[in-house]
């Protein structure tokens, strides 16, 4: 399930059933605040699309593989999902709610984050010589660079204003 918490009152306001059965269990979750849409990666090979207005599942997008973590770029209305089984990142159009590209990366870890100001996506993964972060161009849906980091990078976060990326 996805729990909805009112941030002003710090109370649970809804519980939304997702996943289960062939859809698998929910893992990663991300929000596009501009469209009031929530995206949930399900381990069975799908992404649940939740309407923030109604707190109901509006659609399910089949991807295959093992979707794990998810990030949105609200400015382009694009969703990025790591696929651990296929060492790839799926690109979903928020406008059409369809997969529009699959980008091969070196074996994605659980971390993925976007920088909407630069239209870049950062994905943690384990490379042949240790941990790396794949930098994906949102304009071309290709890996634009790889940056070596410490072994087993897990989390990644961006601060768009100084264009800084932090990796755990």
Work out the average pLDDT over 70-81. 97
Work out the average pLDDT over 45-69. 94
pLDDT band at 43 (very low <50, low <70, confident <90, very high): confident
Distance CA 24, CA 43 (A): 5
What is the reported pLDDT for 23?
63
Q: pLDDT for 14-29, tens place per residue? A: 999 997 666 678 889 9
Distance CA 26, CA 10 (A): 23
Residue 114: which residues within 8 A CB-CB, separation 6 or more? Answer: 71, 72, 73, 80, 120, 121, 122, 138, 158
pLDDT band at 35 (very low <50, low <70, confident <90, very high): very high
Residue 135: half-sphere exposure toward Cβ, Cα within 13 Å: 16
Work out the average pLDDT over 128-153. 91
Q: Are 114 and 81 in contact (CB under 8 A)?
A: no
What is the reported pLDDT for 130?
73
What is the reported pLDDT for 20?
66
Looking up tokens 């306001």, which residue turns up?
A: 13
Give the global pTM: 0.93
């Amino acid at each position: 399930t996805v729990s909805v918490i009112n941030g002003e009152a710090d109370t649970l306001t809804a519980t939304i059933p997702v996943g289960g059965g062939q859809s698998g269990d929910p893992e990663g979750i991300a929000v596009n605040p501009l469209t009031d849409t929530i995206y949930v990666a399900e381990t069975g090979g799908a992404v649940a699309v939740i309407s923030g207005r109604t707190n109901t599942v509006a659609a399910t997008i089949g991807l295959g593989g093992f979707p794990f973590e998810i990030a949105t770029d609200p400015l382009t209305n694009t969703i990025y999902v790591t696929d651990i089984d296929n060492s790839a990142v799926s690109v979903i159009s928020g406008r059409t709610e369809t997969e529009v590209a699959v980008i091969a990366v070196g074996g994605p870890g659980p971390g993925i984050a976007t920088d909407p100001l630069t239209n870049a996506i950062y994905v943690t993964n384990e490379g042949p010589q240790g941990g790396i972060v794949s930098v994906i161009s949102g304009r071309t849906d290709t890996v634009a660079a790889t940056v070596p980091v410490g072994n087993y990078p897990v989390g990644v976060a961006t601060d768009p204003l100084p264009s800084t990326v932090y990796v755990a």
